[in-house]
Structure 1
Amino acid sequence: MVELRYHIPRTDLRDYVRAYYYYSTDIPSSEPLCAELGNIRVLLRGGGMLQLPGGEIERGMSAFLLGPTLGSYNMLVEPNTQVFGIGIRPKGWNALFGVGADELSDRAVDLTAFGGGILRSTIDQIRNARNLAEMSAAADCFFIDLLTKRIKRISQRYPAALADWLLNPNDLALDDLISAMDVSRRQTDRLAKLYFGASPKYLQRKYRALRSADRIRSGETQWMNAAGADYYDQSHFIKEFKTFIGVTPKQFISNQAPLISQIQQTRQRSMFQIPLASF
């Protein structure tokens, strides 16, 4: 049986931390996962490995920071595995860790490198917690401490116009983004990589596919309606969808990516709703 539960962070962290979650499975599992924002994973029990978009295999880290993934990837877990996870918003990269998202795109790194003794103590608290609420409270305290120490050193202004453009259901053109940003194309490219891990053109492809998956999860089964107006033809849509979601649209409709579907269903049942394409 697979269990997946979510918990929201405290109010003053929600610009930086998306959500906390608890995942457990009593059976071995190999699952495709869609391209996503970065997150932290703390192994509570069991083990597994990740096959990242570039083909690199990561295994053996008990607590790690996974950067934004720029394509679908695979998660393989052993039976009786339990994980506490933390979704990091684009605004959280520099604020919490002092790194650009592009430095960690498609990479998993040892989490303790970013927090020293305080972080190791927090990880111990998470592992000794009795439930998700207690794990989340320990993480809240750690992140508030990080922000208090770092907030005055954060000089880069968050590109809200870029975030709005990525989530716009009408899929705006790149020239519209440049106009909304009111900075040069080169500066826009730099900000996109710093906060979101890739160039605007690449992010446009990623978020088109994620929005299509959201439409299918909402009940849309006609490929043209799920795709929107921004693909050359059906074969182009299928290729892009598989690149970023990990399965074809037909496979996704028939629930051949069950963990992605369960993630979306659990989010929708929770006290907050977070589509795949959101921050």
Structure 2
Amino acid sequence: MNYQTFQPQSDLRSVVKCYWTLEIPAQKDVEKQLIIPDGCIDMIFILGDDVKRFTSGDEFIIQPREMVLGQITGPFYVQPSGYVSSFAVRFYPYGFSNFVSSSIKKLANKETPLALLFGDEPSQALTEAIIQAANTSARIEIVEAFLLEKLTDKTIIDNVVKRTIDTILSTGGNTAINTILKDDLSKRRQMERKFVQQIGISPKQLGKVIRLQSALKRLLNRQPESLTEIAYESDYYDQAHFIKDFKEFTGTTPRAFLEDGTMALSSLFYKKD
């Protein structure tokens, strides 16, 4: 597996976390791969063979070849049908709202074709340019030009929502929403509605995802080894609380995660992220 990340130019750095590429040679009997929530939204271009996404058991759909993958809040399994080659934009939690006028909530837990978000002609032109580009650098230039054209000077993200996200990220998901809002408790419901519209999930869900990511990085890097230590360093109440949250988002336990071949892709993504 060859996974690489690239930094955006300065004008997009506040909304785009990175660009990434993934290349995997075709293999026989490839296992399903679990994608773990990370609080981000990705715009993905599939340049290789088709990719299956399992909806339940053995039932699956073929992912669109150009799509936006919204917030994930539970186990999300994919399986390549052959050669994997992908180019993608990873947006910060509040990043993608700056490029579309519709609610981000409807994008959660599914793939949305670019044409539904940006129109047939612009999406087709972008996709063709990405496919025909000679290399990753050229693809980054193409997608950045597209995003900068869509980006406006108008502030789309509510300041309270952005402040809440910044605090969640800076504290590793360990700050209660009441603490963030302080004197604005009466505005909590309004803020939460805006949060879901602009981010796709609730503040509480995002906090749990960010905390899980913090624990996951410690788990993948095996420092420390003890699940109890990982739990406490990630500010879970105890090991049981850590395991409960881990199973909610992955469908498995931390120990099983490390030993399961279906976690290879997530391990590659999040150990380096």
| TM-score, normalised by the number of residues in structure 1 | 0.83
One-letter code of the match for 1:252?
Answer: F
One-letter code of the match for 1:226?
Answer: I
Structure-to-structure mapping, 1:35-50, within 5 angstroms: 35-36=37-38, 37-50=40-53
- Give deviations 1:228-271, integer Å, cap 9, x for gaps: 2754553442131122245421133446422122113444xxxx
Could you tell me whether the CA contact under 8 Å between 1:209 and 1:241 is conserved in 2?
Answer: yes
Partner of 2:148: 144
Q: What is the alpha-carbon distance in structure 2 between the residues aligned to residue 169 and residue 44 of structure 1? A: 34
Q: 1:159 to 1:84 in 2, by over 3 A?
A: same
Q: What are the ranges of 5 or more consecutive residues in structure 2 without an aligned counterpart?
A: none
One-letter code of the match for 1:141?
Answer: A
Partner of 1:203: 206
One-letter code of the match for 1:163?
Answer: I
3-state secondary structure, aligned to 1:35: coil
Q: CA deviation at 1:92?
A: 2.4
Structure-to-structure mapping, 1:65-76, within 5 angstroms: 65-76=68-79
Q: What is the alpha-carbon distance in structure 2 between the residues aligned to residue 56 and residue 205 of structure 1? A: 28
CA RMSD of aligned residues (A): 2.7
Q: What is the alpha-carbon distance in structure 2 between the residues aligned to residue 224 and residue 180 of structure 1? A: 35
The percentage of aligned residue pairs carrying the same residue is 22
Residue 250 (structure 1) aligned to one of 227, 241, 255:
255
Q: 1:128 to 1:181 in 2, by over 3 A?
A: farther
Could you tell me whether the CA contact under 8 Å between 1:52 and 1:107 is conserved in 2?
Answer: no
Could you tell me whether the CA contact under 8 Å between 2:126 and 2:143 is conserved in 1?
Answer: yes
One-letter code of the match for 1:241?
Answer: F
Aligned length: 264
Q: What is the alpha-carbon distance in structure 1 between the residues aligned to residue 173 and residue 133 of structure 2? A: 44
One-letter code of the match for 2:80?
Answer: V
Does residue 7 (structure 1) correspond to residue 9 (structure 2)? The answer is no
Residue 260 (structure 1) aligned to one of 254, 260, 266:
266
Residue 95 (structure 1) aligned to one of 89, 95, 98:
98
Structure-to-structure mapping, 1:64-213, within 5 angstroms: 64-116=67-119, 117-147=121-151, 150-152=152-154, 154=156, 156-157=158-159, 159-167=161-169, 168-169=171-172, 171-179=174-182, 184-213=187-216
Q: What is the alpha-carbon distance in structure 2 between the residues aligned to residue 155 and residue 78 of structure 1? A: 38
Of 238-247 and 41-50, the range deviating more from structure 2 = 238-247
Could you tell me whether the CA contact under 8 Å between 1:159 and 1:181 is conserved in 2?
Answer: no
Q: 1:52 to 1:235 in 2, by over 3 A?
A: farther
Q: What are the ranges of 5 or more consecutive residues in structure 1 without an aligned counterpart?
A: 268-279
Could you tell me whether the CA contact under 8 Å between 2:43 and 2:89 is conserved in 1?
Answer: yes
- Give deviations 1:160-191, integer Å, cap 9, x for gaps: 32113322048122321221767611122123
Q: 1:56 to 1:10 in 2, by over 3 A?
A: farther
One-letter code of the match for 2:141?
Answer: A
Q: What is the alpha-carbon distance in structure 2 between the residues aligned to residue 136 and residue 177 of structure 1? A: 36
3-state secondary structure, aligned to 2:43: strand
Q: 1:130 to 1:158 in 2, by over 3 A?
A: farther
Q: What is the alpha-carbon distance in structure 1 between the residues aligned to residue 157 and residue 245 of structure 2? A: 36
